Amino acid sequence: MFTSLSDRLTSTFKNLRSKGRLSEADIDATIREIRRALLDADVAVPVVRDFTASVRERCLSAEVSGALNPAQQVVKVVNDELVSILGGETRTLRFAKQGPTVIMLAGLQGAGKTTLAGKLALDLRTKGHTPLLVAADLQRPNAVTQLGVVAERAGVPVFAPHPGNQGAETDDVVGDPVAVAREGVAAAATREHDVVIIDTAGRLGIDALLMQQAADIRAAVDPDEVLFVIDAMIGQDAVNTAQAFLDGVDFTGVVLSKLDGDARGGAALSVARVTGRPIMFASTGEKLTDFEVFHPDRMASRILDMGDVLSLIEQAERAFDAAEAEKMAAKVASGQDFTLADFLVQMQQMKKMGSMKKMLGMLPGMGQMREALDNFDEREVDRIEAIIRSMTPAERENPRIINGSRRARIAKGSGVRTTDVNQLLERFAGAQKMMRQMNKGGGMPGGMPGMGNLPGMGGKKSRGRTQAPPQRKKGKSGNPAKRAAEERAAAARAAGESAPAPRGSSFGATQAPPSAPADLEIPPGLEKFLGR
């Protein structure tokens, strides 16, 4: 959603990093680029004007001029102001002290209210609540049937006493939605449900009939929360729609749907500031699990390409099995090999977290790898899983037994080429080698296949100084006389004797021949050489 805005802001801040001090001209140029980026993202003009004015005022103050790194301080200022226009603090549901908590959904037709009702119900059910869905949309064709299907997928009951419109394209209201909403709240109290979610009707545009019906339902059930569901892809028109619903229904919170779309995202940055109501939830996909609490600080970090590690950790905690994780950690710590069966289990756990692109996008600095993320094929995970599932249990435990015929059988069974099987086995062998190295306490291996000698992964160094390079072995001289002398010296060293002294010195002086001790036995015929 915020790809274009994130890229523009990241590029703007990159130009500031090379400057030790920021002049007023530098700040004005930066504010100009930020203004253009926000307008291109379809943010409402009043919001852009207030945002840039606040950023400029803070950037010209001592907060930035006195900072050790002015460029980083400017990023911090922009981050703080983004958090402010997104609502400031995280706002969660307020539950009633007595009786069921009543949550009413309102919004235009096509905004995703019915699907959101199922997502919210599933989220509440996983947190220990017992929600009940009420089908008060009696105008849209088959709206009651759709809510029943969504409720079944979420595993929650639905209250639908009236079938509603069964396919007729008409603007006439079928049945009494106000009475259905009132009876649904009474049924929830009788069946001991602690949360009631009322799905109301929408229109293709704002009209008096829509507002009056929503206002009548609110007056009848007195909801604890009125959530305005808005399509995040409609651009600046979101501001006018939100203001009309605020005047007609007076909602307490905003839910952004279709936040995974490719629109520019101006609605998300405009609604909270214009209406003064917080953004509470975000719908990020078609699955019922693609639903999350809206955190302004985390969303600002995503826009500025600083990642959202906290949300990634929370998703991992919900998806991963703690017992399975402990079992895997104990296995690795005991020195057992990481097998393809273990790899398959880890992949299945990761698939529960959702889209790989979405998870990778939560990591800091991934905006610089935007093209690689866009080209990432989600089906690659399914292909790898198919390859591993085509193996026998023995092959998963010991991939070394997979020969040529086995590879051909695995490739045929998984619908891939043999080269794909070979590549998977090669990559897994490298990962297995790395796991062994880490288990031994040696850290990341420096000689991993295809990675070369990485910096800092060479030989060991002595403390405080560099290890001396190995001495080269000296070769034999090409001079026959000198080579004979070197051989005699080497033989003498090997026998424990000292090498003979040179006959001359560097200055041309000749030394006297050494005299032998008197008790030394001289072989016959050698006396003349000793001067005897």
Domain membership of residue 53 as a residue range: 3-85
| 414 in the same domain as 335 | yes
CA atoms within 13 A on the CB side of 32: 6
Q: Does the annotation place 109 within a ligand binding site?
A: yes
Measure the CA–CA gap between 366 and 401, rounded to whole angstroms: 39
- The answer as to whether 42 is a domain residue is yes
| 281 in the same domain as 207 | yes
Closest by alpha carbon to 176, among 187, 190, 162? 162
Measure the CA–CA gap between 70 and 78, rounded to whole angstroms: 12
Q: Does the annotation place 50 within a ligand binding site?
A: no
| 272 in the same domain as 150 | yes
Q: Does the annotation place 336 within a ligand binding site?
A: no
Q: Does the annotation place 184 within a ligand binding site?
A: no
Q: Does the annotation place 101 within a ligand binding site?
A: no
Q: Does the annotation place 218 within a ligand binding site?
A: no
> What does the pLDDT read at residue 498?
45
Whether the predicted pLDDT of 474 surpasses 90: no
| 167 in the same domain as 36 | no
Q: Please return the burial class of 418, using the count of CB atoms within 10 Å of its CB with bins 0-12, 13-18 and 19+.
A: middle
- How does residue 453 score in pLDDT terms, banded at 50, 70 and 90? very low
Q: Does the annotation place 200 within a ligand binding site?
A: yes
Counting the structural domains of the chain, the total is 3
Q: In this structure, which long-range contacts are made by residues 434-437, counting pairs with CB atoms below 8 Å and at least 24 apart in sequence? A: 435/332, 435/337, 435/338, 436/337
- The answer as to whether 65 is a domain residue is yes
User: By three-state DSSP, how is residue 327 classified?
Assistant: helix
- The answer as to whether 527 is a domain residue is no
Mean pLDDT of 465-489: 59
- Which of the two residues, 251 and 59, has the higher pLDDT score? 251
Mean pLDDT of 12-18: 73
Cα 235 to chain centroid distance, Å, stands at 26
Q: Does the annotation place 202 within a ligand binding site?
A: yes
| 50 in the same domain as 189 | no
- The answer as to whether 499 is a domain residue is no
- Which of the two residues, 445 and 246, has the higher pLDDT score? 246
Q: Does the annotation place 406 within a ligand binding site?
A: no
| 348 in the same domain as 424 | yes
Measure the CA–CA gap between 368 and 352, rounded to whole angstroms: 26
Measure the CA–CA gap between 190 and 50, rounded to whole angstroms: 50
Q: Does the annotation place 352 within a ligand binding site?
A: no
- How does residue 1 score in pLDDT terms, banded at 50, 70 and 90? low
DSSP for 485-503, written as a single string:
HHHHHHHHHHTTPPPPPPS
How does pLDDT run across 194-239, given as a tens digit for each residue? 999 999 988 766 777 888 888 899 999 999 999 999 887 776 677 8
Measure the CA–CA gap between 511 and 532, rounded to whole angstroms: 18
How does pLDDT run across 101-147, given as a tens digit for each residue? 999 999 888 888 899 999 999 999 998 999 999 998 888 888 889 99
Amino acid at 333: A
Q: Does the annotation place 199 within a ligand binding site?
A: yes
- Which of the two residues, 296 and 5, has the higher pLDDT score? 296
The answer to whether the predicted template modeling score (pTM) of the entire model surpasses 0.85 is no
Q: Which of 278, 306, 334 is the last residue of a domain?
A: 306
Give the percent of the chain with pLDDT over 70. 66
C-alpha distances (whole Å) from 291 to each of 107, 110, 200, 463, 493 are: 18, 17, 20, 53, 82
Q: Does the annotation place 222 within a ligand binding site?
A: no
Q: Does the annotation place 260 within a ligand binding site?
A: yes
- How does residue 183 score in pLDDT terms, banded at 50, 70 and 90? very high
